[in-house]
Structure 1
């Protein structure tokens, strides 16, 4: 009954979960045989909304990815890094040198990047193929 009154996903503001621990999120992903997919995001970023709503959220709902987001401007939240140290999401994004949003990163349980990052949306028509290729590479390196 509630599904009838729910606006389509393209209209509603949706978000990926924000982790409190990158290490914990990456270990949970690896236990499923998946890399941890992290999207850096910025409030109001229309390109972030495209990647989130049209690619990562549908894939997450279907169980195809373990994806989370990190807000590059969040200086008040607490985030445990892969090394166990606490910082803010903004500081973590800066440590990754993720200067553009969205940047999609693919991590193993040890915090090592497993595939080339996807920075921005250079060619929207091919973004899905680029994402799938990076995921395949990350999954292969995870084995």
Structure 2
């Protein structure tokens, strides 16, 4: 039989562990700037209705380069009309992939062979990648130019398939 002290200790440890797990899963303020999708197929359909490719940021919680890419480049692009969402490395959050299969964020990152955070992907109809992936990040002035180039390429490819 469990004594009162042992039960209280177990309750405390359980609450502390649960609070830590919740805190570890919580998105920081920067990560909340862009929507986190739970359905890539639905996000892609929305982007298509807007006449845009879907821009997907594969991000890692706590990654300083992801933060720079998100805050300085992708968030402003979303304000200018780009349809941008994010998926999270290592996350077990449920996600439907571009084919509609139930999986998780982390598994989609793995299935796509993404090994570097941040990675930006550009999708068109049917989940087809329309431009080369933009991998890694830096505080370099060239990142914005690389993003603009790939976004223009994705938009041109998207328009040519209409």
**Which deviates the most, 115-124 or 49-58?**
115-124
Stretches of structure 2 that go unaligned for 5 or more consecutive residues are: 1-27
Residue among 55, 68, 76 paired with 2:85: 68
> CA separation in 2, counterparts of 1:14 and 1:137?
27
1:18 is aligned to 2:18: no
Residue among 131, 134, 138 paired with 2:147: 131
Structure ranking higher on relative contact order (CA contacts 8 Å, 6+ apart): 1
Matches within 5 A, 1:87-126: 87-121=103-137, 124-126=140-142
Q: Is the 8 A contact 2:68 2:139 kept in 1?
A: no
Using structure 1 for the length normalisation, give the TM-score: 0.86
Query: RMSD across aligned C-alpha pairs, in angstroms?
Result: 1.4
Residue among 68, 73, 81 paired with 1:50: 68
Using structure 2 for the length normalisation, give the TM-score: 0.76
Displaced runs of 4+ in structure 1, greater than 4 A? none
Stretches of structure 1 that go unaligned for 5 or more consecutive residues are: 1-11
The structure with the larger Rg is 2
The alpha-carbon deviation at position 109 of structure 1 amounts to 2.6
